Amino acid sequence: MVCRIAQLQYKEVIDIADGARYGFVGDVELDPDRGAIEGIVVRGRPRLLGLLGREEDVVFPWSAVKRFGEDIILVDGGARRSRRR
């Protein structure tokens, strides 16, 4: 299956171990020297309708991505890390 980076924003990220839903892909981390994807970023959820900002973003390293489907990406949630914006 061929997938463009722009199409990733329409895929929901789900933990393969416990079925936790993290949200949709908001961004990717790239290594420009190697031309490779380093990880996928799921934007933090808005607090109080966005008036109080957002929770921290969650980053999954590319090694944590286990499967791509038509609408979902299955990941190993134990490898995730938080990122302040």
User: What CATH number does the domain containing 67 carry?
Assistant: 2.30.30.240
- Pairing verdict, β 72-75 and 12-15: parallel
pTM: 0.80
Query: What is the total count of domains within the chain?
Result: 1
Give me the residues paired with residue 41 across strands: 27, 59
Is the pLDDT score of 50 beyond 70?
no
Host domain of residue 12: 5-83
Strand partners, 73: 13, 68
Q: Where in 1-85 does DSSP place strands (E)?
A: 12-15, 21-31, 36-42, 57-61, 65-68, 72-75, 81-83
Tell me the mean pLDDT in the region 18-44: 91
In percent, the amount of the chain with pLDDT more than 70 equals 95
